[in-house]
Amino acid sequence: MDFLQMFDMIIHVDKTLGVFIQQYGTLIYVILFTIVFCETGLVILPFLPGDSLLFIAGTFCASGALDPWLLCTLLVAAAITGNTVNYWIGNVIGHRVYQHNYAWLNQEALKKTHIFYEKHGGKTIFLARFIPILRTFAPFVAGVSSMTHNKFQLFNIIGAAVWVILLTAAGYFLGNMPILRDHLNTIVLIGVSAAIVPLMLTGSWKLLKRYWSK
């Protein structure tokens, strides 16, 4: 198997995981750990499978092909360490940006981003776990904006555990439902929107009250 074939199988892991398990046996745990780590830890790889990987892995846990406890433990660890690496990459870049005061960067915007992440970063890091692409960039931006590390790690750990366990469990118990399997990303986005919309409405209401009070 050449590199391009392997890459294509990884991108379509929801259809090829069974082949991976047959060919690599217990090494599949290392492969899945690596995919989750890279998808959450490297900003250049936001296209790697995340939600679909967890869901389909859960269905293989239900069939006995994978150990659910081992799988969840490893993937939670991968998600935590991936986000942590992503945060520190952003943090290093952010410090250089602040110190060199590049003319092509808006320093005021960076300061506002820092303030935003200090105030709303916890919710952002948690909810971003369930949104493809944003999941990869949120910890990087948290690092660039110098979000407090302890606060970041708290929501990083909670978000990783909820994301991995919830979607793996969904695959374990509901993986035989085609409508759920085929529309997983849409269902996840609807769920996240249900959590975000009330927050947005509350924020908008506060802004309007401030405007009217002037």
pLDDT score for 213: 57
Name which residue leads in pLDDT, 97 or 158.
158
Task: For residues 165-193, give the mean pLDDT.
Answer: 68
pLDDT score for 50: 83
Identify the band that residue 19 occupies on the pLDDT scale cut at 50, 70 and 90: confident
pLDDT score for 109: 62
Report d(CA 75, CA 83) in Å as an integer.
Answer: 12
Name which residue leads in pLDDT, 203 or 101.
101
CB atoms within 10 A of CB 6: 13
CA-wise closest residue to 89 among 26, 28, 45: 45
pLDDT score for 201: 47
pLDDT tens digits along 121-161: 888 899 888 888 888 888 988 998 888 999 999 999 999 99
Lowest mean pLDDT among 71-75, 107-111, 116-120, 133-137: 107-111
Q: Which DSSP letter does residue 66 get?
A: S
**Main-chain phi, psi angles of 175, to 5 degrees:** -65, -20
What does pLDDT average to over the chain? 79
Instruction: Give yes or no for residue 195 having a pLDDT over 70.
Output: no
Report d(CA 40, CA 42) in Å as an integer.
Answer: 6
